Structure 1
Amino acid sequence: MEIDWFRVFFSDQPYSFFIEIVIRTLIMFVAAVVTLRLAGKREVQQLSIFEMVMIVTLGSAAGDPMFYDDVGVLHALTVFVVVLSAYRLMILLIARSDKAEALLEGEPHYIIRDGKLCIKEMPNDELGSDEFFSQLRAQSVEHLGQLRCVILEDTGRLSVFYYSDEEVKPGLPILPDEYRKKSRTIEDSGLYACAHCGNTLQLESVARVVCDICKTEEWVKAINRRRIT
């Protein structure tokens, strides 16, 4: 099978189409910048799901007319106008309606209260425990007893509020070496934390203990070290 390298690199378009690509790309680049500027300025980490969808839509609409000769620039600009208009309408609805804001932007959820995971309040599949613990470790958190509360904001960021050193209580360790020691069997009596929800109990040596909050059976020895920053 012989490969037509000329077609691979140049397609069937005339050389003049390269100039057209340059013009198309510049037009769509400027249109994208203007549209996003009109949409408002916000950090990438603070973008809502709705805003991310808008950016992806604009990217798709901007890309095609840059090098497809059968896609007109005005068609793409029409998409830009419609998307920006829809975005402005959604912003207006969000400003006037709390229900619309919760539906389109989401709402904050408590992940931790008083050093324990809020199993019943946490949105399903929003945040895996490994990802969640890694974010806390990045903020020098060793165990959940150091935390007064943690809130998952509608942007996906975590707002963390700490206990003072005097208020730190025994909690579930989240450092990998300590967390991996979780077990279904309590070999030594002491204070233990549920590996699933962080509930702490004084336990005696026993083969099986069910957490009265989340109904799981894995436990880790609780620790109460103060937070070091």
Structure 2
Amino acid sequence: MEHQAISISINGAQLHLYNIYIPPPTSCPPGFSPSLTPLLELDTHNTIIMGDFKAHNPAWYSTTQDDREAARGTALINQIDSSQYILLNQDTPTRLLSQGAPSSPDLTLISPHLALDAVWTPLARLNSDHLPISISLDSLNPPNNHPTCTYINFRQADWEGYTANTETAFSAAAHPSSCSQAEILFRRILTLAARRHIPHGCRRDFIPNLPPSLSFKSMTEPEPWTPTTPAYRTSTTISQPPFPLTPT
């Protein structure tokens, strides 16, 4: 069994990541049964354990015709159930073969307090039959009391210019050497064209369906030159001519 471990600091909190790889049973000595117990008994504070375990079990929605990989999956799920870690896998495969049924040999285990808001998502397939997996952890991010809302105005977009820009860029681009390079190039061209031809930005104190002229600031400020404003009182006092204190 191979493993790697790193610790990263996120907003002052330490997140511990363990990458695990267990070779298939055909590459292991006869009777070999991997044990995760020493790893699962470590401190579970801010820890993620993930990797290719070459094991299958209905607990992570993965089946196999290989009895040895099924037996390994049964042993692993018993070890996981005896620990405090939470299995994040959903009913989505993590491996797509060109021939054969999809499966999920890749597991993700996480500390129980992090599992409350963790989002586990397999991403698009690139140049491997194993799908990249994204894990979002909102609990490690400080609360944003003033979120920035960016709005995109598709109604006023210059779609003709957008189409012409992207077609020209695709025609001039060199042929990518791999699927991952093609994905990066495709996304870059679309992003640059969108910035140029689709209006976008952020309006402070934005209220839906309210014109910019009726902003929150203009609604809360008093109208100038009214009897209740200091400017009005000052101007009327200064503009009044002095009167004699005694009659003539």
Task: Give the shorter-chain TM-score range.
Answer: under 0.3
Greater per-residue strand proportion:
2
TM-score scaled by length of structure 2: 0.19
Greater per-residue helix proportion:
1
Larger relative contact order (CA 8 Å, sep ≥ 6): 1
TM-score scaled by length of structure 1: 0.20
